Chain A
Amino acid sequence: MHIPDGLLSTPVIAGTYLITAGTVLYASKKAKDIPEEKLPLLGLTAAAIFVAQMVNFPVMAGVSGHLLGAALVAILFGPYASVLVMTAVLIIQTFLFGDGGVTALGANIFNMGIIGAFVGYYTYHYLKKINTYLASFLAGWISVMLGALAASIEIGISGIVPFVPFLTLMLTYHSVIGVIEGVLTMVLVKALQGEVEKESLSSEVN
């Protein structure tokens, strides 16, 4: 879901860079709340998200997808830590590997990092009382769907594609990609649930 260069209009580039810069700065301010002893694990998690995003899996004929991971990191470490993890991953992907456009970096961090982190965190937070499996699955699935929605809106209002047909196609593909994100989020959150509760990995939003 990495938007390349050449798709976004100047106002969309400027707007997404501004929103992303503000959010990343605020997340940086909140980073002081991340306990020192969790930093190595956060680094390992960021490495895991990077390698997971390298592996595309087939979702339907001629279409592939990859894990985003923002919801997973947000559930385990809190949304601000997730924003910083996703920002680090996307900056390295863009500038070192050419995955995603330089002009679209603000949009890509917003779509995959910021939306994924906050939507994933709050979806899990509010639904976990009902069922933790459902909560973690939906956190992953909705984060992908809303990321795809945001990307479609940004590309749509840039005026290079017919908005509704493009949005429909994007949401169709990502509804399937999101299922894999949801399942992986569910499996990992479940595997680490005892740890989350015992060690309080997730820093609360203040």
Chain B
Amino acid sequence: MKKAYIVFGAFILVFILLIPFASTSPDGLENAMEHFSVAEHAIYNAPLSYGDSFITGVIAAIIGMALVSGILYIYIKLTKKVA
């Protein structure tokens, strides 16, 4: 299983390095929405964004990754305990 840690660790590193090169074009759904003149009506203001520079992007990635993996780990641990 050690190889899997190395592969996913490298995967994360590669994608972090790709953050400044990410396309700013709308994604498939956003483009289709624009094509049909459909706009979103946000009802919630999120506290963070993915950032607009490499540094802020990396900070956003670190916060997001820590929260996602932490919440998932704790949640599964708790469900295992309950079961």
A85-99 interface (Cβ within 8 A of B)? 85, 88-89, 91-99
B43 adjacent to A40 (CB under 8 Å):
no
Given contacts A32-B80, A55-B18, contact A39 B73 (CB under 8 A): yes
Q: Contacts A55-B18, A64-B27 known; A96 to B47 CB distance under 8 Å?
A: yes
CB proximity to A under 8 Å, residues B31-71: 31-33, 35-36, 38-50, 57, 60-61, 63-71
Q: What is the CA–CA distance of A58 and B80 in the complex, to the nearest angstrom?
A: 41
DSSP majority for the B interface? helix
CA gap between A52 and B72 in the complex, in Å: 17
Q: Which residue of the partner chain B has the closest CB to A85?
A: B72
Task: Give the size range of B's interface with the partner.
Answer: 35 or more
Could you tell me if B73 and A50 are in contact, using CB atoms closer than 8 angstroms? no
Establish whether residues B15 and A51, one from each chain, have CB atoms under 8 Å apart when the complex forms: yes
Q: Which of B8, B27, B42, B71 contacts A63 (CB 8 A)?
A: B27
Count A-B contacts at CB 8 Å.
211
The CA-CA distance from A169 to B75 in the complex, in Å, is: 38
Contact A54 B28 (CB under 8 A): no
How far is A194 from B80 in the complex, measured between Cα atoms in Å?
28
11 pairs of residues in contact across A and B, judged by CB atoms under 8 Å? A1-B29, A4-B41, A37-B1, A43-B70, A50-B64, A54-B15, A76-B4, A88-B68, A148-B29, A170-B29, A191-B3
